[in-house]
Amino acid sequence: MTAILEHSVDIRREAGGWTRCWTPRPEYDGRSGRELLDIAARRWPANVRLVRPDNSVALVADDYAAASDEWPGESPCRFHRWLAESDGRQSAPLPDEELMLTLLAELAPGATRRDAAWVVPLPAGTELTIDLAPGAALVTATLADLDDAPPAAIEAIAEFLVRALSGLRFVRAELSEKRASLAARAEADGLAFDLPHAVHAVSFASRLLVHEVQALADVDLAATYLDFLKQEPHLNRQRKLSSP
């Protein structure tokens, strides 16, 4: 693995043709997990997300094409363009629907149309949904319904997700009043390349996280998890002191 430092962004080429862009964001260290999820969903597109793998926050994104050297005149990662995007992208055209159908026939033969979206069944009774939006296809999966979830459960789920996201690729989590979900964005001008990665990323992350997220909707388990997080800095210090 190589790391390139560019404008304080650590750009790492990783196995499997992936590039990870990582930059510390200490200004967010004191924010709650829910705030971090909300900020990322509101400010940045694609899979750009704020993560907290330990007690510090980083901004991270993944891009597979950036591992190629065939990017003349471009940044080695779309990360910089994603960060620069604004609400102007809402005026972009919708992805090509015929291309979407061709890709889904290969990626998800079991996909069915529901209103304006495509739906793919996933394990544990969940679904993957693909919607067309300006400039992109949005791939999402609901991890848990939160209509009746107490505040402690929502807080615990958010804290769990901002920690789990650092170990996943090309996907981020989003939290609303009604649900906790996963999302990935396949850009319209690269749909044939982005969509397979987006579908696989959301499907894999859903299988990996759905049971834990649904378990944390239980108020007692949520309280236990939040108590553990409060003790985590002390436990980490103890580990460092006891290590040889």
What HEC string does 89-107 produce?
A: HHHCCCCCHHHHHHHHHHH
- pLDDT value for 67: 43
Q: Which residues have C-beta within 8 Å of that of residue 161, sequence separation ≥ 6?
A: 33, 37, 173, 175, 180, 209, 213
Of 67 and 52, the structure prediction assigns the larger pLDDT to: 52
Q: Is the pLDDT of residue 63 over 60?
A: yes
Q: Is the pLDDT of residue 86 over 60?
A: no
DSSP 11-51: EEEEGGGEEEEEEE-GGGTTS-HHHHHHHHHHH--TT-EEE
Q: Which tokens hold the place of 26?
A: 């200490």
pLDDT band at 91 (very low <50, low <70, confident <90, very high): low
Of 76 and 188, the structure prediction assigns the larger pLDDT to: 188
Q: Which tokens hold the place of 223?
A: 């309280």
**Which domain, by its residues, includes 175?**
2-242
| Of 32-36, 61-65, 131-135, 140-144, the least confident | 61-65
- pLDDT value for 12: 81
- pLDDT value for 143: 96
Comparing CA positions, the residue from 156, 95, 155, 103 lying closest to residue 131 is: 95
Of 84 and 102, the structure prediction assigns the larger pLDDT to: 102
Q: Which tokens hold the place of 39?
A: 């900020």
215: burial class by Cβ within 10 Å (0-12, 13-18, 19+)?
A: middle
Distance CA 195, CA 5 (A): 29
Distance CA 188, CA 138 (A): 10
- pLDDT value for 46: 83
Distance CA 143, CA 146 (A): 10
- Asked if 85 and 44 count as a contact pair (C-beta separation under 8 A), the reply is yes
pLDDT digits 0-9 by tens, 153-167: 999 999 999 999 999
pLDDT digits 0-9 by tens, 2-11: 333 334 678 8
Of 42 and 14, the structure prediction assigns the larger pLDDT to: 42
The mean per-residue pLDDT over the stretch 89-116 comes to 87
The mean per-residue pLDDT over the stretch 54-80 comes to 68
The mean per-residue pLDDT over the stretch 39-63 comes to 92
- pLDDT value for 215: 96
In the chain, the number of structural domains is: 1
Comparing CA positions, the residue from 191, 184, 170, 185 lying closest to residue 100 is: 191
The CATH code of the domain that includes 81 is 3.30.1460.10
Q: State the pTM of this model.
A: 0.86
The DSSP secondary-structure symbol of 53 reads S
Percent above pLDDT 70 for the chain: 83
- Asked if 58 and 20 count as a contact pair (C-beta separation under 8 A), the reply is no
The mean per-residue pLDDT over the stretch 209-219 comes to 95
